[in-house]
Amino acid sequence: MKSIKRIALVSAISASLVAIMGGAANASMSAGPDSVYVAYEKPGFAGQTQVISECGVTNLRYRGSYKWYGAGQSGRMHNQINARGRVHFELPTKGNAQQKTVVGWKSIFKVC
């Protein structure tokens, strides 16, 4: 009888830990809004778009113009693909930025 109680207690503790860890993961996943970079195909914010909100390196498909919506993460802009070479410009963690003319950047490293 003692071993059955022990198994029940261990099961209850394990279930509680799983619930707590799952809640912590969800909290970190939804910690708030993310900064977003929108690349436009043409100057003047026209044409097709590429919306980048994920962290890390992303190569830009369009370089006609851009809008940046800073909400906690910065964006490091590179003139080479795969974020190679030096950082040519860093978009702010808070606040917005935009340019309605062509940009030379070929990739972004979004810092999270």
What is the average pLDDT across 23-41? 66
Judge contact between 103 and 41, C-beta under 8 A: no
d(CA 39, CA 65): 6
Strands (E), 18-64: 36-42, 46-52, 56-59
Q: Specify the residue for token string 């830990």.
A: 17
pLDDT at residue 2 in the model: 52
For the chain, the straight-line distance linking the first and the last C-alpha, in angstroms and rounded, comes to 52
pLDDT tens digits for range 66-96: 999 999 999 999 999 999 999 999 999 999 9
% the chain with pLDDT above 90: 71
